[in-house]
Amino acid sequence: MSARRGLSGFWTGHLGPILAVCVAIVALWYAGAVWMNADLQRSAFDNAGQKSWTTGELVAGTLAQERPRLPAPHQVAQELWKTVVDTAPSSKRSLVYHAGVTLSATLLGFLFGAGLGVGLAVLIVHVRSLERSLMPWIIASQTIPIIALAPMIVIILNQLDVTGIVPKAAIAAYLSFFPVTVGMVKGLRSPDPLQLDLLRTYSASQAQTFWSLRLPASVPFLFASLKVGVAASLVGTVVAELTQSADGGFGARLLAGSYYGQTIQIWAAIFAAAFCACALIAAVALADRVVARRMGYAR
């Protein structure tokens, strides 16, 4: 009886569905690895002069190649373990080192981008003509593929003797300011007519209306757009690192991996970048929760 209840609890709780999805993804991934690497493995057997092989040998081979088309999950896990835990963080072979490079540019760019986004939104909400004159440029800026634009920004900034972390942060900011602007414009306009009329009856100034009504009303919108912005910021940094790869970072790891056909290294870097993005979003979500509680939104 209790076992049954335990089992049904497993499926109705959070843990069951999460585990089921993970298992399904890993299983699919293994199947894909076998399928994608089978050709390579057959020619490897041929080259080694081995004329016949069992299915078991073939499968085992596809999951243990040095440069597979699609590395198996355990290969990526081993690489992650090797480069995160077994390597000293100061070494250029350590993913922790590269995470540090990427994250510092991401955070700097995110700070710039969020600040710029909030500033633009404040201007747009208060100066009516700016919405028409500024918004088309802001939208146009996001229609250009960043992969095409990033190298040019890096080169132009290098010409101006701006090097190091700043060009990468600039591209991160370029990607992250947009969601913040859009979210904050909506947030600063979210107070209803009644709430605005109330301040009018006190003949409050525009500045007082901003600080006591528009800004606090926009906070939930701000955090929603910061979550999008911080992830975009990381993507921008990684793209910038493809151009400015000498400094390291996940982008540099991806580039080096593709030069040398080190697919396992590429996938390990992708997973590390995804993990960092999740951690950044979780940090923003935590800040959101703390602020919401202090503002009385938590019930």
Q: Which residue lies nearer to other proteins by CB, 56 or 193?
A: 193
Fill in the DSSP letter of residue 247.
G
Question: Would you state the structure tokens that stand for residue 229, as one six-digit string?
Answer: 């912005």
**Under the criterion CB under 8 A, does residue 295 sit at the interface with other proteins?**
yes
**Under the criterion CB under 8 A, does residue 289 sit at the interface with other proteins?**
no
Q: How far apart are the first and last CA of the chain?
A: 36
**Under the criterion CB under 8 A, does residue 199 sit at the interface with other proteins?**
yes
Taking CB under 8 A as the criterion, the residue among 195, 278, 282, 285 binding other proteins is 195
Least distance in angstroms from the C-beta of 201 to other proteins: 4
Taking CB under 8 A as the criterion, the residue among 219, 224, 255, 281 binding other proteins is 219
For residue 188, CA distances in Å to 124, 183, 197 come to: 10, 9, 15
Cβ within 8 Å of residue 239, ≥6 positions away = 146, 147, 150, 171, 251
Least distance in angstroms from the C-beta of 180 to other proteins: 20
Least distance in angstroms from the C-beta of 225 to other proteins: 18
Least distance in angstroms from the C-beta of 292 to other proteins: 9
Locus of tokens 């699609």: 70
**Under the criterion CB under 8 A, does residue 201 sit at the interface with other proteins?**
yes
Chain CA centroid to CA 140, Å: 22
**Under the criterion CB under 8 A, does residue 224 sit at the interface with other proteins?**
no
**Of the ranges 39-47, 98-106, 196-204, 266-274, which one interacts with other proteins (CB under 8 A)?**
196-204
**Under the criterion CB under 8 A, does residue 46 sit at the interface with other proteins?**
no
Q: Which residue lies nearer to other proteins by CB, 68 or 187?
A: 187
Fill in the DSSP letter of residue 86.
I
**Under the criterion CB under 8 A, does residue 204 sit at the interface with other proteins?**
yes
Fill in the DSSP letter of residue 85.
I
User: Do the Cβ atoms of 101 and 247 come closer than 8 Å?
Assistant: yes
User: Do the Cβ atoms of 41 and 69 come closer than 8 Å?
Assistant: no
Residue 265 burial (CB < 10 Å; 0-12/13-18/19+)?
buried
Contacts with other proteins, residue ranges (CB under 8 A): 194-195, 197-204, 208, 212-213, 216-217, 219, 295-297, 299
